[in-house]
Chain A
Amino acid sequence: MLEAINLTKTYEDGQLALDHLNLKVEPGEIFCMFGANGAGKTTTINLFLNFIPPTSGTALIEGIDVAKEPLHSKEFVSFVSENVTLYGNFTAYQNIDFFTKLAGKRNLTKADYARALESVGLQKDAFDLRTKTYSKGMRQKLGLAIAVIKGAPNILLDEPTSGLDPKSGQEFLNLLIKMRDEGNSVFMSTHDIFRAKLIADRVGFMKKGKLVMLKTRADLEGEDLTELYIQYMEEREA
């Protein structure tokens, strides 16, 4: 479970990036966070990963305060970034092997890696290719495979579907649904309203560091999410 309690971040230049965020992503839930660039979506992820310290408030992963026990909390979270480039001179096997070992899993075999790579839909003949020859979709799948094999119950994704073609995007979403169904908490920051609507259990709109709207899948039934988003943002602006 991911939980933010009054989580606030003000940068050195005085910019308020996150303003008292209170949020809980339950196990078996996909939460999609929308917002313009600079709204605070990535800051939230950075705070959960302890890449930056909070100004106030707490970020909890499985009940562990990430600011107090950063290394311990990272055992329970996986991360997929917007643009997974990985090590271009490494093959998929070499990349997954390195990051799996960093995650503390040392006894996995090549067959385990192959299963993880297959589970995200990566073609077998690409496993031994250098990843610099991969398309963006293939790299994102590999990034997700690294997250999958870590086996952490929480997954943070920072705009993972941006730049993916429709087919790759759909495959990617299917993987997230599968992870959700396995009981993982999934937090995804995204601009991709269309795709997010298909999989999100809850959505949130962020503006200038504030969570300005929170809706469940049931709330969204019959709603045009894109229109709602634009309308909501404009209202708030006014």
Chain B
Amino acid sequence: MLKDIIKKEIVETITSAKFVFTFLLCAALILLSVYTGLSSYKADQKEYSTAVGLNKRNLESQANYQSLAGLGTKINRPPQVLGAIASGVNEAVGRVASVNVAYDPNLIDSKYESNPVFSVFGALDLTYIVKIVLSLFAILFTYDAIVGEKERGTLKLMLSNKIPRDKLILGKVIGGFISLLIPLIIPLILSLLIIMVYPGIALAGADWIRLLLMFVMFFLYLSVFFTLGILVSSRTNKSSTSFLVLLFIWVTFVTVIPKLSIVLAARLNPIPSVHEITAKKDAFLQQIQGGAQKKVMDWIKENTPKTKEDQATFQDKMKKFLEDYQQDATSQIDANNAALERDYQLKKNSQVRLAVNMSRISPASALTFSTMSLARTGLDEHERFLASIRAYKPVWTKWANAKMMRNLNFGLGTTPETKVVLDDMPQHTFEPETLGPSLARTIPDFGLMVFLIIIFFAGAYASFLKYDVR
């Protein structure tokens, strides 16, 4: 009997015009998003390689270490292949950071900066399609699951037979869910094929696990809206009321809660502006620079040689003094900036955590955060990358200062052209997050979705047992 109800649900759905429309639209959107995501990744990869090569050539072409220290080196953010599925914050955050002796490094030149029109509508990745389009389809498939049967009179007709209500609701849920999965699974399988055959795309073992887990999150997310649809449908007496209630909940979950959480977090936990921090950094820099001139003059006054024979020794001593002084000043600036930055980041992270946790009551936010973590395109990965650049900055400036000071020549009036050698330049390294921490971060989102599915299903089940079929 259960089998008959499941079969009826599937056949009834897949022979309907709404299924055909949904299937075609899903297939087109999913395949298009995966294809364009992969194309975009390939383009980013090429851009990244070009930028890295260009930076190296640029550094090598510098006339001397002084100009090299001033120019600094550029660190580019490597693209993530799973960004093709969940672009996360990748498009919004900068792709390159300048590391030089003067300023604190920061990632700039995001895709949205380059072309702000993209920021208006956001990326059309698979996560977006599931979050917005497919969740609406889940509602479309379920809003009349129970109440529609009542309106058609088929519910009475079914229940005039020897069929327990629990079997009926179970059959409807299973059959309905299978019907919803068909338009999703087939394009997803085709997407996997595209990923496998797309030239130049090679997913590592852990990437496949990440991808499959992302698909699991998609299914869970759609199950949330599916069970919600059944619940609302089993608590209303008109399908139009059911649809309106579901639409209201959908808007609240998908748009209101995520946006409101950010606004609320900013109100509840305000942080100083970036300009304020920059002004403090600049003030300290000016303080150091102001003292430097006097200190150098004093040193020269004290150490100027009496005879010409002592000039060479004097130059060596002065280079040593300047290098030590420069290193000391840079260390002080770096330490001050790091302290300011640490304090700012702590406050900012606290605000972000508050916003993230508040918005997590929405399954749409849970889906966004979990897929971003799994794709390594989330806020955490961005912070990790930025932290790696900030950790690299003192190492690089120490090397650059040493090179610059050791190659100064005071006797000739001009700085001699010294060929820049990069062999011993410290390299920036960044290890993308391993699977374990990414998984750990998705556990609350996974838990929330499973919790909502259980609650909604239990609610629908209990409601249907008492449902007024008249």
Whether A87 and B12, one on each chain, are in contact in the complex, defined by CB atoms closer than 8 angstroms, is yes
Residue among B1, B152, B156, B161 facing the most chain A CB atoms (10 A cut-off): B161
Whether B152 and A86, one on each chain, are in contact in the complex, defined by CB atoms closer than 8 angstroms, is yes
Whether A102 and B164, one on each chain, are in contact in the complex, defined by CB atoms closer than 8 angstroms, is no
Size band of the B side of the interface? 20 to 34
A3 to B372 CA separation, bound complex (whole angstroms): 65
> Which of chain A's residues have a CB closer than 8 A to the CB of B152?
85-87
One of A42, A46, A99 near B157 (C-beta < 8 A) = A99
A238 to B388 CA separation, bound complex (whole angstroms): 93
> Which of chain A's residues have a CB closer than 8 A to the CB of B15?
89-90
Whether A74 and B156, one on each chain, are in contact in the complex, defined by CB atoms closer than 8 angstroms, is no
Cβ-based interface call for A104 (8 A): yes
> Which of chain B's residues have a CB closer than 8 A to the CB of A42?
470
Q: How far is the CB of B14 from chain A (nearest CB, A)?
A: 9
Q: Which residue of A lies closest to B155 (CB)?
A: A51
Q: Known contacts A75-B162, A99-B161; is A51 also within 8 Å of B156 by CB?
A: yes
Quick one: which of B154-188 are within 8 Å of A by CB?
Answer: 154, 156-164
One of A52, A86, A87, A90 near B470 (C-beta < 8 A) = A52
Quick one: which of B1-37 are within 8 Å of A by CB?
Answer: 1, 4-5, 8, 11-12, 15-16
> Which of chain B's residues have a CB closer than 8 A to the CB of A71?
162-164
Whether A98 and B8, one on each chain, are in contact in the complex, defined by CB atoms closer than 8 angstroms, is yes
Q: Known contacts A87-B12, A94-B11, A98-B8; is A77 also within 8 Å of B154 by CB?
A: no
Whether B161 and A103, one on each chain, are in contact in the complex, defined by CB atoms closer than 8 angstroms, is yes
Q: Which residue of A lies closest to B467 (CB)?
A: A51
A112 to B4 CA separation, bound complex (whole angstroms): 19
A81 to B468 CA separation, bound complex (whole angstroms): 16
One of B16, B162, B469 near A104 (C-beta < 8 A) = B162
Whether A74 and B153, one on each chain, are in contact in the complex, defined by CB atoms closer than 8 angstroms, is no
Q: Which residue of B lies closest to A139 (CB)?
A: B153
Cβ-based interface call for A49 (8 A): yes
A90 to B159 CA separation, bound complex (whole angstroms): 19
Whether B4 and A101, one on each chain, are in contact in the complex, defined by CB atoms closer than 8 angstroms, is yes
One of B4, B154, B164, B470 near A46 (C-beta < 8 A) = B470
A110 to B157 CA separation, bound complex (whole angstroms): 21
Whether A89 and B16, one on each chain, are in contact in the complex, defined by CB atoms closer than 8 angstroms, is yes
Cβ-based interface call for A168 (8 A): no
One of B1, B4, B8, B160 near A49 (C-beta < 8 A) = B160
A94 to B4 CA separation, bound complex (whole angstroms): 11
Whether B153 and A90, one on each chain, are in contact in the complex, defined by CB atoms closer than 8 angstroms, is no
Quick one: which of A48-106 are within 8 Å of B by CB?
Answer: 49, 51-52, 71-72, 74-75, 77-79, 81-87, 89-90, 94, 98-99, 101-104
Quick one: which of A16-54 are within 8 Å of B by CB?
Answer: 42, 46, 49, 51-52
Q: Known contacts A51-B470, A87-B154; is A101 also within 8 Å of B1 by CB?
A: yes
Q: Which residue of B lies closest to A52 (CB)?
A: B470
Whether B11 and A90, one on each chain, are in contact in the complex, defined by CB atoms closer than 8 angstroms, is yes
Q: Provide the main secondary structure of the chain A interface.
A: mixed
Whether B162 and A84, one on each chain, are in contact in the complex, defined by CB atoms closer than 8 angstroms, is no
How many of chain A's residues have a CB under 8 angstroms from any CB in B?
A: 32
Cβ-based interface call for A148 (8 A): no
Q: How far is the CB of B467 from chain A (nearest CB, A)?
A: 10
A51 to B470 CA separation, bound complex (whole angstroms): 7
Q: Known contacts A90-B12, A102-B1; is A51 also within 8 Å of B162 by CB?
A: no
A89 to B27 CA separation, bound complex (whole angstroms): 23
> Which of chain A's residues have a CB closer than 8 A to the CB of B4?
98, 101-102
Whether A79 and B11, one on each chain, are in contact in the complex, defined by CB atoms closer than 8 angstroms, is no
> Which of chain B's residues have a CB closer than 8 A to the CB of A211?
none
Q: How far is the CB of A233 from chain B (nearest CB, A)?
A: 24
Q: Which residue of A lies closest to B17 (CB)?
A: A89
A102 to B158 CA separation, bound complex (whole angstroms): 7
Cβ-based interface call for A4 (8 A): no
Q: How far is the CB of B91 from chain A (nearest CB, A)?
A: 42
A89 to B16 CA separation, bound complex (whole angstroms): 7
A236 to B468 CA separation, bound complex (whole angstroms): 32
Cβ-based interface call for A196 (8 A): no
Q: Which residue of B lies closest to A150 (CB)?
A: B161
A72 to B161 CA separation, bound complex (whole angstroms): 9
> Which of chain A's residues have a CB closer than 8 A to the CB of B157?
79, 81, 84, 86, 99, 143, 146
A89 to B161 CA separation, bound complex (whole angstroms): 22
Whether A74 and B161, one on each chain, are in contact in the complex, defined by CB atoms closer than 8 angstroms, is yes
Q: Which residue of A lies closest to B7 (CB)?
A: A98
A172 to B101 CA separation, bound complex (whole angstroms): 95
Q: Known contacts A49-B156, A84-B153, A87-B154; is A103 also within 8 Å of B162 by CB?
A: yes
Q: Which residue of A lies closest to B16 (CB)?
A: A89
Q: How far is the CB of A162 from chain B (nearest CB, A)?
A: 13
A42 to B161 CA separation, bound complex (whole angstroms): 18
Q: Which residue of A lies closest to B152 (CB)?
A: A85
Q: Known contacts A81-B153, A85-B154; is A74 also within 8 Å of B162 by CB?
A: yes
Q: Which residue of B lies closest to A98 (CB)?
A: B8
Q: How far is the CB of B191 from chain A (nearest CB, A)?
A: 29
> Which of chain A's residues have a CB closer than 8 A to the CB of B161?
74, 99, 102-104, 150
A78 to B159 CA separation, bound complex (whole angstroms): 11
Q: How far is the CB of A154 from chain B (nearest CB, A)?
A: 11
A-B contact pairs, 8 of them (CB 8 A): A79-B157, A84-B157, A87-B12, A87-B152, A89-B12, A101-B4, A102-B1, A103-B161
> 10 closest A-B pairs (Cβ-Cβ)?
A79-B160, A102-B161, A85-B152, A101-B4, A89-B15, A81-B153, A74-B162, A71-B162, A103-B161, A98-B8
B residues sitting closer than 8 Å to A (CB atoms) are 1, 4-5, 8, 11-12, 15-16, 152-154, 156-164, 468-470
